[in-house]
Amino acid sequence: MAGDPMKEAQRKLTQKVMGRPGVIGTAIGMSRGDHCLKVLIEDDRGRHAVPREIDGYRVVVEHTGRIRRR
């Protein structure tokens, strides 16, 4: 059985962007009524070199600020 193509695209995106300064995570989400992949950033350093799409899915950068554990 084949895996979920969007989850596979997220996995590829995560491998590409995690570890870059300012990037704190990736997610599957919605933007403008369509499914998309998101790169979560804590500051503008994470905005650089984020791909526009992965496997046909649009990639959106979302500035979340720092996420802290409670």
pLDDT in tens, 7-55: 999 999 999 999 999 999 999 999 999 999 999 999 988 888 899 999 9
pLDDT value for 61: 96
For residue 27, the 8-state DSSP code is: E
pLDDT at 60 over 70: yes
pLDDT at 1 over 70: no
Read off the amino acid at residue 30.
Answer: M
Q: Where are the alpha helices (DSSP H) in the chain?
A: 5-17
* 66 confidence band (pLDDT: 50, 70, 90): confident
pLDDT value for 2: 58
Q: Under a CB-based contact definition with an 8 Å cutoff, are residues 18 and 40 in contact?
A: no
